[in-house]
Each structure stands twice: as structure tokens, then as C-alpha cells.
Amino acid sequence: MEVAGLAERVPDLSLVRHLKAKGRYEEAERQLRIWLDEDPENPRLVFEMAVILDNQGREAEAIDFYQSALDGDLDGAHRIDAMIGLGSSLRVVGRVLESYQVLEKAHHEYPHHMALAVFYALTLEQMGNYGEAISTLLQVIAETGREESLDVYRPAIRYYRDHRHDFRSSRNKKE
């Protein structure tokens, strides 16, 4: 019933979606600010504002909105998107450790969410954890790549993902 209550509090966002699709972010932002003036604690509206700011390259401003949305009662799908947005925005503004903390938590909560895994891998790479980043991306490719040419290689990709270190250590022993 909680979700129904939340749905009743969220205005029809089709106007905002339409404006975003047309690249009219400033207009979408103005509309969201009007609604937020009326209902500043609404986690869905706060999340939508974060996305609008993020889409405009205003990641530093989006961070507080993502965090506020996550602190609220945000539904599952939007919660994942807010975690991705927060982690990505933190990484973009150079707050890489915080990005890692957000995305690591999200990755454990949603281990099969492949878009999340890609953003997690980007943060791992920026931290210098190249091996874990590549393993994460190989997991995404193995699980979601629908390119026909990948089909025959999918078992090998999974094997290399799981045994990358075996090859590195055996190669080093020969040298």
C-alpha cells in the first residue's frame, strides 16, 4: 500500500519525460522545481531532479539530490538508477572512493544488474583495480552480449573471467 501512496503523491511525469526526450532540460528542470516547491520531500521528484541535473553535466549539483532520493522511500527500479547516478556522479567529480562505496554496496544488493556492473567497473578502473574492472566487464559481456559472434566464445569468456590470474601467474613463472 505504501507504493500506492507514493504513486498518488507523484505528479504525471510525462511532461518531464517529453521535455527530456527533446533535450529541453531547462524546461524540465523548471517544472520539477515547481513540483518540488510543493512537495520537497518527495523522493521520486528529488530523483527526477538529480537525473535532469546529471543529464546537463551538472553532476556536482545532482549528488545531493541523488542522496536525498535514496534517503527517501524510493521504489526498487528508481533506487537502482539513483545508486548508479550517485556513484557515477561521484566518480565524475573526482570523489572516487565515495563512488566505490556506493557502487560496491549497490553491486552486492543487485549483483545481476548489468548496467550497474558497468558503472562499478568504471570506478574500479579509475581506482587502479584493473583486474577486477576487466572481470566485471567480462561478466557483463558473457551474460548480456547478444552479438551472434559472441555466442561461440561465451564459454571461453566466462572461463577467462574466472581464471585470468591463472594465466598471469603461469606466464610469470616461465620468464
- Domains assigned to the chain: 2-110 (1.25.40.10)
pLDDT digits (tens, 9 = 90+) for 75-115: 888 999 999 999 999 999 999 999 999 999 999 999 988 88
Distance CA 36, CA 46 (A): 7
CA distance 52 to 29: 6
Q: Look at residue 3 and give its three-state secondary structure.
A: helix
How many angstroms from the chain centroid is the CA of residue 154? 25
**Predicted local distance difference test score (pLDDT) of residue 90:** 97
pTM exceeds 0.85: no
Q: How far apart are CA 97 and CA 126, in angstroms?
A: 10
Q: pLDDT of 25-38, one tens digit each?
A: 999 999 999 999 99
Q: How far apart are the first and last CA of the chain?
A: 64
Type of residue found at 104: E
pLDDT band of 1, cuts 50, 70, 90: very low
Asked if the model's pLDDT at residue 65 lies above 60, the reply is yes
